[in-house]
Structure formats: C-alpha cells, structure tokens
Amino acid sequence: MGGLEIERKFLVHKAGKPYREAAFASSRIRQGYICSERGRTVRVRIRDGRGFLTIKGPSDEAGTTRYEFEKEITLEEATQLMKLCEPGQIDKTRYLVRSGGHVFEVDEFYGGNDGLVIAEVELHSPDEPFIKPEFIAEEVTGDRRFYNSQLMKTPFSLWRATLPEEFR
C-alpha cells in the first residue's frame, strides 16, 4: 500500500530501559537498502519471518511527511533482495508502546548503531496532538543522522560523542 507517511522522531531516555517494560509487543528487524539516495530510498526488511519492500520519497522541509509505498513480499524474495543491497545493514529490536491513542515504535539498535534508541510516532497530520510517554526526550524529526538509511552509511558509533551522555 502507498500513501503519505507522517511521523515524528525522538531520542529516548535509556536509563532502566522503561520502554521495554511498557511495550505490548516487540520484534527483531533486519533491513538493507537497494537505494539510499537523498530524496528516495528502496528498503528491504525482514521482520518476524516476513519480508517487506518499501519505497520512500523525499521528506518535506520539516522532515515529518513523505510518500511511502510498502508491499509484503515472500521471505525468500526478501532474502534474495538483501543480497542486492548496498553495503551495511540495520539490525534492531522494535518495541511497540501505547500512549493515549497512538503507538510509539521504539527502536533499539545493534552493531555499529549499538546504544542508539529512537522512538517514532505516526500521525494523521503534522500538527496532530499526542501524549509523549515519560521516556521520550529530545525531538530529532528531520535530523538526517537519525534516518535508518543514514545510520547504515554513517553508524552511530562514529558520531555518538556529539550527543549528551544520557543518549549515548
């Protein structure tokens, strides 16, 4: 299915990992990029034994809105497409946490991005109100360093020292 993706992204307070306790579900995700150019990405994802192909267009000026097309593909197709991806992969566990009428997706990264924890919330409009869980910290919507396609190219381990200690 395709349509507009409207989301906001935040750093997460990691002390005690409260998002884990608050989660109603979690899953391991591995993904690669066939194309990770600015303004368009083609992603292959394997999540819970299922494959997905996602194409994303450029973000708006605020970084909140962009076109997204996603289609489930077979696990075999996803496995084969992963072999065509650019060097590097994203490996993370995603925790789903309800807050008010929204679900926050909290990603805990591994490998070169180990130590990074980011939360996203999908919205119906850029100015839609939502209730932030207590573990939500600084907003990083639109900061390209936190895009998964960029984390693949320039892992968090290379620039973690630029963030306050509580987020490293």
Could you tell me which residues come within 8 angstroms of residue 118 by beta carbon, excluding any fewer than 6 positions away? Answer: 9, 10, 11, 12, 106, 107, 109, 140, 146
* Residues present in the chain in total: 168
State how far the Cα of 75 lies from the Cα of 46, in Å rounded to an integer.
7
Could you tell me which residues come within 8 angstroms of residue 148 by beta carbon, excluding any fewer than 6 positions away? Answer: 31, 43, 90
From first to last of the 168 residues of the chain, give the pLDDT tens digit. 568 999 999 999 878 889 999 999 999 999 999 999 988 999 999 999 999 999 999 999 888 999 999 999 999 999 999 999 999 999 999 999 999 999 999 999 999 999 999 999 999 999 999 999 999 999 999 999 999 999 999 999 999 999 988 887
**Residue 33 among the catalytic residues:** yes
Residue 1 is predicted with a pLDDT of: 59
State how far the Cα of 168 lies from the Cα of 160, in Å rounded to an integer.
6
Q: Where are the alpha helices (DSSP H) in the chain?
A: 18-22, 75-82, 148-153
pLDDT tens, 74-113? Answer: 999 999 999 999 999 999 999 999 999 999 999 999 999 9
State how far the Cα of 96 lies from the Cα of 104, in Å rounded to an integer.
6
Q: Model-level pTM?
A: 0.94
Residue 146 is predicted with a pLDDT of: 96
Catalytic member of 33, 67, 95, 147: 33
Residue 42 is predicted with a pLDDT of: 98
State how far the Cα of 103 lies from the Cα of 30, in Å rounded to an integer.
21
Q: How many CA atoms lie within 13 A of 128 on its CB side?
A: 15
Measured over the CA atoms of residue 34, residue 160, residue 7 and residue 126, the dihedral's sign is: negative
